[in-house]
């Protein structure tokens, strides 16, 4: 299914490439020992190196190299055992050195691939061109003072991975899925926390349009888009803008633009209007980064099971649906939760995983996610542990409580953090499965309601619902409905 933008005369395709900047998970900065934690007071996480004091020199953080290599491996990319840091020269208030240390000609990671799974059930490989390591800039605040811009260098020098895709995406959906999948992978391997609200991940989106079959059009780069939703919106809006210009007989200027989600538009960035000449050259304060096969092997060894592999295993080993598997592996926390839940269920019931997984998946994606959503929580602060979830599901499975009661029990669990058994016990929610007791109730009911019995026997079989209701009423809702049905029918039938 091709994404098409309809112009007044022609249909247009959109071509999208992404440069994702992902903050490397590390305690200290790429070239200094200052901390990287989010949210500190301005300029408190700044070393004299980050502030580019005269004579200060960069020294590289080993962890950032390791995480770069792990990320490359996770994308099946080629790892370059020799890479070089270059200086990208430009002036900006939050760029203290007057250059950004980045990698230009010799990045640490070469070509790799990210597979996206589309809604229509198809999948597509998006090629990654390269990953390089670079410094983040500081932060400029333009709205604190009428005449001044304030500069905070806390982020200055924080390690980023720039993950550059090829222009392989053809719709806002694909771009969104690509960013989402990349985020999932980074979070799985722990090389980036993927926290887009805090700026740990942001994307520069390159958009161009063309009539079907024509060569690539002129692209515009939309800078610093900081959510997946905005990536999709920005592409839609920018592609439409370009189509309108072309159809009006205009041409697209290659430029840097800013996405304004409030106004729903992209606009040219004045500060970037001037043509750049970055004058890249190898940073003479640093030497080439070199490592051997053992280093790469150790990095590979440290990788967890990746989302695609996990997805495949959930389908083949657990027998859950492809869709459910996709949802569950999208976040590492949910796949971890699910796996712990399955393990606990298998442990308690002695059944095979495939026998318990489908119901467990439904419960996680339905009850659990629903409750989390409603409470505005995530799995990381979920009050119900996988073991507790397993206990609850076990109680349904062995008939102790009904599925209906389980929903109430879960609600209490979610609120109090108590175990299911404790709640069932304390609230007396145990299902009545004692056939003798239920039989006695049924017998009494048949005697007390002869008219209804007769109606049933006259062929109004729906009346069985009336009797089920009465039994439930008599047992305070705790009678096991399966047993009630099982006992009631022969007695009514006489």
Window 1-30: residues binding another protein (CB under 8 A): 26-28
User: Given the rule CB under 8 A, which of 32-40, 230-238, 347-355, 468-476 is the region that contacts another protein?
Assistant: 32-40
Q: How far apart (Å, rounded) are the C-alpha atoms in residues 161 and 107? A: 10
Instruction: Give the DSSP H/E element, type plus range, for residue 181.
Output: helix 172-189
Which of 98, 403, 417, 469 is the binder for another protein (CB under 8 A)? 98
The distance of closest approach from Cβ of residue 54 to another protein in the complex, given in angstroms and rounded to an integer, is: 4
Burial (0-12, 13-18, 19+ Cβ within 10 Å), 178? buried
Q: How far apart (Å, rounded) are the C-alpha atoms in residues 263 and 168? A: 28
Which of 32, 206, 233, 402 is the binder for another protein (CB under 8 A)? 32
- Residue 173: CB atoms within 10 A of its CB come to 17
Contact 278, 41 (CB under 8 A): no
Which of 41, 197, 293, 458 is the binder for another protein (CB under 8 A)? 41
Which of 146, 213, 428, 490 is the binder for another protein (CB under 8 A)? 146
| Stretch 202-221 residues interacting with another protein (CB under 8 A) | none
Q: How far apart (Å, rounded) are the C-alpha atoms in residues 204 and 202? A: 7
b/e code 243-275 from CB counts within 10 Å (16+ = b): beebeeeeebeeebbbbeeeeeebeeeeebeee
The distance of closest approach from Cβ of residue 24 to another protein in the complex, given in angstroms and rounded to an integer, is: 10
Which of 2, 8, 147, 380 is the binder for another protein (CB under 8 A)? 147
What is the DSSP pairing of strand 220-225 with strand 256-260? parallel
Residue 102, CB half-sphere, CA atoms under 13 Å: how many?
22
User: Left if phi > 0, otherwise alpha if psi is -120 to 50, otherwise beta: which for 158?
Assistant: beta
| Under rule CB under 8 A, residue 141 binds another protein | yes
282: which strand partners? 86
User: Given the rule CB under 8 A, which of 265-273, 298-306, 402-410, 452-460 is the region that contacts another protein?
Assistant: 265-273
The distance of closest approach from Cβ of residue 254 to another protein in the complex, given in angstroms and rounded to an integer, is: 15
Q: Which of 306, 329, 324 is nearest to 363 (CA)?
A: 324
Which of 18, 20, 22, 64 is the binder for another protein (CB under 8 A)? 64
In the complex with another protein, the residue whose CB is nearer, 84 or 479, is: 84
| Stretch 342-361 residues interacting with another protein (CB under 8 A) | none
The distance of closest approach from Cβ of residue 68 to another protein in the complex, given in angstroms and rounded to an integer, is: 12
Which of 16, 18, 65, 234 is the binder for another protein (CB under 8 A)? 65
| Under rule CB under 8 A, residue 55 binds another protein | yes
| Stretch 398-427 residues interacting with another protein (CB under 8 A) | none
| Stretch 270-299 residues interacting with another protein (CB under 8 A) | 270-271, 277, 279-290
| Stretch 99-138 residues interacting with another protein (CB under 8 A) | 99
What residue has token string 């079959």? 213
Which of 18, 126, 131, 153 is the binder for another protein (CB under 8 A)? 153
CA end-to-end span of the chain: 61
What residue has token string 């010799």? 106
Which of 93, 298, 309, 461 is the binder for another protein (CB under 8 A)? 93
The distance of closest approach from Cβ of residue 397 to another protein in the complex, given in angstroms and rounded to an integer, is: 46
CA angle 20, 108, 156 (to 5 degrees): 55
Size of residue set near another protein by CB under 8 A: 71
């Amino acid at each position: 299914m091709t994404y098409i933008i309809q112009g007044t005369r022609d249909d247009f395709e959109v071509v999208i490439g992404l440069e994702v900047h992902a903050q490397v998970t590390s305690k200290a900065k790429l070239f200094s020992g200052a901390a990287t934690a989010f949210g500190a007071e301005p300029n408190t996480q700044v070393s004299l190196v980050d502030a580019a004091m005269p004579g200060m020199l960069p020294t590289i953080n080993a962890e950032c190299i390791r995480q770069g290599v792990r990320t490359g491996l996770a994308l099946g990319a080629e790892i370059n055992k020799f890479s070089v840091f270059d200086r990208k020269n430009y002036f900006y208030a939050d760029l203290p050195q007057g250059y950004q240390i980045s990698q230009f000609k010799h990045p640490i990671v070469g070509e790799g691939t990210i597979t996206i799974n589309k809604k229509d059930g198809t999948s597509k490989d998006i090629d990654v061109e390269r990953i390089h390591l670079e410094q983040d800039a500081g932060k400029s605040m333009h709205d604190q003072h009428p005449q001044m811009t304030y500069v905070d260098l806390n982020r200055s020098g924080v390690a980023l991975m720039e993950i550059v895709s090829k222009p392989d995406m053809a719709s806002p959906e694909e771009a969104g899925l690509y960013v989402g999948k990349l985020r999932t992978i980074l979070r799985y391997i722990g090389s980036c926390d993927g926290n887009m609200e805090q700026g740990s991940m942001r994307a520069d989106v390159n958009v161009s349009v063309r009539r079907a079959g024509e060569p690539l059009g002129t692209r515009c780069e939309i800078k610093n888009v900081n959510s997946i939703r905005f990536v999709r919106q920005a592409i839609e809006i920018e592609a439409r803008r370009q189509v309108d210009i072309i159809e009006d007989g205009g041409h697209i200027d290659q430029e840097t633009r800013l996405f304004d989600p409030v106004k729903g538009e992209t606009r040219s960035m004045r500060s970037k209007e001037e043509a750049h000449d970055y004058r890249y050259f190898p940073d003479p304060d640093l030497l080439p980064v070199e490592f051997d096969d053992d280093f790469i092997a150790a990095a590979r060894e440290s990788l967890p099971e990746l989302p695609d592999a996990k997805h495949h295993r959930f389908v083949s080993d657990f027998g859950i649906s492809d869709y459910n598997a996709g949802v569950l592996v999208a976040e590492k926390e949910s796949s971890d939760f699910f796996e712990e839940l399955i393990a606990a269920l298998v442990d308690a019931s002695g059944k095979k995983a495939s026998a318990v997984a489908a119901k467990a998946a439904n419960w996680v994606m339905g009850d659990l996610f629903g409750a989390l959503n409603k409470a505005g929580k995530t799995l990381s602060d979920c009050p119900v542990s996988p073991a507790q979830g397993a206990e609850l599901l076990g109680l349904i499975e062995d008939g102790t409580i009904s599925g209906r009661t389980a929903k109430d029990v879960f609600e209490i669990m979610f609120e109090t953090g108590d175990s299911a058994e404790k709640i069932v016990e304390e609230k007396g929610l145990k299902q009545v499965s004692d056939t003798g007791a239920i039989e006695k109730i049924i017998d009494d009911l048949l005697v007390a309601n002869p008219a209804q019995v007769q109606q049933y026997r006259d062929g109004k079989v729906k009346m069985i619902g009336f009797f089920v209701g009465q039994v439930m009423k008599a047992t305070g809702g705790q009678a096991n409905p399966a047993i009630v049905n099982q006992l009631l029918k022969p007695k009514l039938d006489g």
